[in-house]
Amino acid sequence: MEKTKGQELKEKLFVSKKTGWEKLASDVKDKVLKFNEGYISFLNKCKTERECALYAKKILEEHGFVNLGEASTLSPGDKVYYINRKKAVYAAVIGEDMLEEGLNLVGAHIDSPRLDLKPNPLYEAGGLALLKTHYYGGIKKYQWTTIPLSMRGVIVKVDGEVIDVCIGENEDDPIFTITDLLPHLAYKQEKKTLGEGIAGEDLNILVGSIPYEDEKVDEKIKLNIMNLLHEKYGIVEKDFTSAEIEIVPAFPARSLGFDKSMVAAYGQDDRSCAYTTLMALVNLDCPRKTAVALLADKEEIGSVGNTGMYSQNFEVFIASLLDKTGQNGHNVLEKTLCHSKMLSSDVTSAADPNYPDVDDSHNAAYLGQGIALCKYTGSRGKSGASDASAEFVGHIRGILEKNNLAYQMADMGKVDEGGGGTIAYILANKGVDVLDCGVPVLSMHAPYEVTSKFDIYNAYEVYLAFYHD
């Protein structure tokens, strides 16, 4: 049937809100599903920032990237990486233009909300052995009780030996959990607000119940656990003080839905963007602009510290690229950053039909409609926002439309409802043009987060197109 004039006009003039799956050619659909198999496998291997950094190193090396320290000079087409303290990764493909004319950066983070063990975690109470935790990042504490948990990280002994710990991921491994009150006895607890129902000090991990057999000692259950740990890892209780043990959900990443169109997994903030950023970089040949991928740590607690985006290590990395490409004039680092462009690849909240009240439906991101561009983040009056210029948003839209890529513009939550931040403003403060640009996520920061497979593949294509520009 022929379209009416009004229908034609509407199609031409209005923002279309259609899902990316619609009219998706079957060969592209196959690519989407195949790409997500790799993504799901990555999520299962990498549940901590250290694991992500190690995985990135492996992928980078497989694609011909070399450690920056091993390259004495760099020329167009060369590929290098730098790992900052095993927790953050910077990688680059040298482009044809002088670096001083600007870099194309894509930056994600590889830390996710979780529970960290306290320095003196192990204790015995009520015939059970437990571990004390201090949560990391913004969590809804009640969500972390009564789910299977695994334990991953490192213990460093005084002689410098690093002991890797990973328990709860293999099928024959035991798992851990945090208990909660039965409804029958939760009358008072249920009167509390969601935020108060479970306190930070209640997030204690159940780890054992068999006593050490010796009538003459007390704390028999704690002793038995400590003895098991000593036998397996050679550690004593004091070694917990120089450890980084992260408690994360033990369930695996899975396809979600009858149509298998979505991914349910822990840590998709921001590993969905980290994986797609990494994959885009390693699939580049010799771009015009030098392409840089940043996988930062500590975003969830303010990008602080020597592995967070604020760290001087980032500038040192860029300065090394300049030095090794023979560009070392006056203020060349500052000029390079002021001429650079960046996509801050971090997830955004997707509109949830169960909670329509928190979003402005005209400006929310929807699952399956492609990557979400957020001109500004921040909350309540754009406070703390990195606000990309209309010119830069126009520039990015130009790239996406030229490449026929889906995208949606989004503003997280209603104006007075709240908001979030990313690493965007940190680079913007250095003079870089930055736009937030990431995958929409349902149940963000929960132990099990949901994304659309279409959006994951779309993010990869968007970052690749940006690097190629």
Residues near Mn ion, by CB under 5 A: 269-270, 346
CB of 405 to Mn ion, least distance (A): 22
CB of 270 to Mn ion, least distance (A): 4
Nearer to Mn ion, 124 or 270 (CB): 270
Nearer to Mn ion, 261 or 272 (CB): 272
Let me know: does 106 contact 466? Beta carbons within 8 Å.
yes
Nearer to Mn ion, 80 or 296 (CB): 296
Nearer to Mn ion, 264 or 441 (CB): 441
Q: What are phi and psi of 120, to 5 degrees?
A: -120, 80
CB of 89 to Mn ion, least distance (A): 16
Burial environment of residue 16 by CB neighbours within 10 A (0 to 12, 13 to 18, 19 or more):
exposed
Residue-wise over 297-330: b if at least 16 C-beta within 10 A, else e? Answer: bbbbeebeeebbbbbebbeebbbbbbebbebeee
Nearer to Mn ion, 224 or 377 (CB): 377
Angle in degrees, CA 453, 455, 457, rounded to 5: 70
Specify which residues 251 forms β-bridges with: none
CB of 434 to Mn ion, least distance (A): 14
CB of 298 to Mn ion, least distance (A): 11
Let me know: does 293 contact 91? Beta carbons within 8 Å.
yes
Nearer to Mn ion, 246 or 270 (CB): 270
Closest CA to 66 of 42, 104, 94, 105: 94
Nearer to Mn ion, 269 or 455 (CB): 269
208 Cβ contact list (under 8 Å, min separation 6): 128, 129, 221, 224, 225, 228
* Cα separation, 421 vs 378, whole angstroms: 6
Let me know: does 91 contact 283? Beta carbons within 8 Å.
no
Q: What are phi and psi of 123, to 5 degrees?
A: -150, 170
- What is the number of residues in the chain? 469
The letter for the amino acid at 135 is Y
Residue 138 DSSP code: S
CB of 42 to Mn ion, least distance (A): 16
Helix (H) or strand (E) holding 316: helix 313-324
CB of 60 to Mn ion, least distance (A): 22
Encoding tokens for residue 434?
């930055």
Nearer to Mn ion, 445 or 453 (CB): 445
The letter for the amino acid at 431 is G
DSSP string, 175-219: -BB-----GGG-TTGGGS-HHHHS-GGG--EEEE-PPPS-TT-S-
CB of 124 to Mn ion, least distance (A): 35
DSSP string, 11-52: HHHSPP---TTTT--HHHHHHHHHHHHHHHHHHHH--SHHHH
Q: What is the bridge-based pairing of β-strands 162-167 and 149-156? A: antiparallel
Encoding tokens for residue 243?
């450890």
How many other CB atoms are there within 10 angstroms of residue 390's CB atom?
9
CB of 420 to Mn ion, least distance (A): 7
Nearer to Mn ion, 138 or 257 (CB): 138
CB of 437 to Mn ion, least distance (A): 12
CA atoms within 13 A on the CB side of 337: 15
* Cα separation, 432 vs 337, whole angstroms: 6
Of all residues in this chain, which one has the CB nearest to Mn ion in the complex?
A: 270
Nearer to Mn ion, 229 or 274 (CB): 274
CB of 274 to Mn ion, least distance (A): 10
Residue 351 DSSP code: P
Nearer to Mn ion, 110 or 129 (CB): 110
